[in-house]
Amino acid sequence: MTDVESKAVNVKKASEVLYNTPTAKKNALLRAIAAQLKRETDRILKVNLLDLAAARKSGLSDVLVDRLTLTEKRIAQMTTGVEDVFKLPDPVGEILERKKRPNGLLIEKVRVPIGAVGIIYESRPNVTIDAAVLCLKAGNAVLLRGGSEAIRTNSKLVEIIKKALKNVGLTSGCVEFLDTPDRKAVAEMLAQDRYLDVIIPRGSHKLIEYIRKTSSVPVIAHGEGNCHVYVDSTADLHAAADIVYNAKVQRPSVCNAAEKLLVHEKIAKAFLPKISDRLKLASVELRADKKTLSIIKNARQATEEDWYREYLDLIIGIKVVKGIDEAIEHINHYGSHHSDSIVTGTKKNGERFLREVDSAAVYVNASTRFTDGFEFGLGAEIGISTQKLHARGPMGLAELTTIKYVVHGSGQIRK
- Measured CA to CA, the distance from residue 153 to residue 324 in angstroms comes to 49
For its own copies, how many residues bind (rule: CB under 8 A)? 67
One residue of 2, 6, 20, 71 binding its own copies per CB under 8 A: 20
Question: Which of 231, 248, 250 is closest to 240 using CA atoms?
Answer: 231
Check: CB of residue 288 under 8 Å from CB of residue 302: yes
Q: Is 194 in the site for its own copies (CB under 8 A)?
A: no
- Measured CA to CA, the distance from residue 45 to residue 157 in angstroms comes to 11
Q: Is 76 in the site for its own copies (CB under 8 A)?
A: no
Cβ partners under 8 Å of residue 373, min gap 6: 379, 380, 381, 394, 395, 396
User: Least separation, in Å, of the C-beta of 110 and its own copies?
Assistant: 9
Q: Is 230 in the site for its own copies (CB under 8 A)?
A: no
Helix (H, G, I), strand (E, B) or coil at 263: strand
Q: Is 210 in the site for its own copies (CB under 8 A)?
A: no
Sign of CA dihedral 240, 243, 247, 251: positive
- In the range 343-402, which residues lie near its own copies by CB under 8 A? 350, 354-356, 358-367, 369-371, 375-377, 387-390, 392-393, 402
User: Least separation, in Å, of the C-beta of 412 and its own copies?
Assistant: 4
Residue closer to its own copies (CB basis): 50 or 282: 282
**How would DSSP label each residue in 322-349?**
SSHHHHHHHHHHHS-SSEEEEE-S-HHH
112: enclosing H helix or E strand: strand 106-113
Residue closer to its own copies (CB basis): 43 or 347: 347
User: Least separation, in Å, of the C-beta of 78 and its own copies?
Assistant: 22
Sign of CA dihedral 274, 278, 281, 284: negative
Q: Is 231 in the site for its own copies (CB under 8 A)?
A: no
- Measured CA to CA, the distance from residue 326 to residue 196 in angstroms comes to 43
Q: Is 407 in the site for its own copies (CB under 8 A)?
A: yes
Residue closer to its own copies (CB basis): 116 or 293: 116
Helices (H), ranges, 88-232: 126-137, 151-167, 184-189, 205-214
Q: Is 220 in the site for its own copies (CB under 8 A)?
A: yes
Residue 392, Cα to own-chain centre: how many angstroms?
10
- In the range 284-303, which residues lie near its own copies by CB under 8 A? none
- In the range 97-126, which residues lie near its own copies by CB under 8 A? 99, 101, 105, 107, 112, 114-115
Residue closer to its own copies (CB basis): 271 or 363: 363
- Measured CA to CA, the distance from residue 223 to residue 225 in angstroms comes to 7
Question: Which of 327, 336, 320 is closest to 227 using CA atoms?
Answer: 336
One residue of 250, 253, 298, 303 binding its own copies per CB under 8 A: 250
User: Least separation, in Å, of the C-beta of 49 and its own copies?
Assistant: 34
Residue closer to its own copies (CB basis): 25 or 39: 25
Residue closer to its own copies (CB basis): 292 or 367: 367
Provide the 8-state DSSP code for 89.
P
Chain residues in the site for its own copies (CB under 8 A): 16, 19-20, 99, 101, 105, 107, 112, 114-115, 193, 197-198, 212-213, 216, 218-220, 236, 239, 242-243, 245-247, 250, 332, 350, 354-356, 358-367, 369-371, 375-377, 387-390, 392-393, 402-414
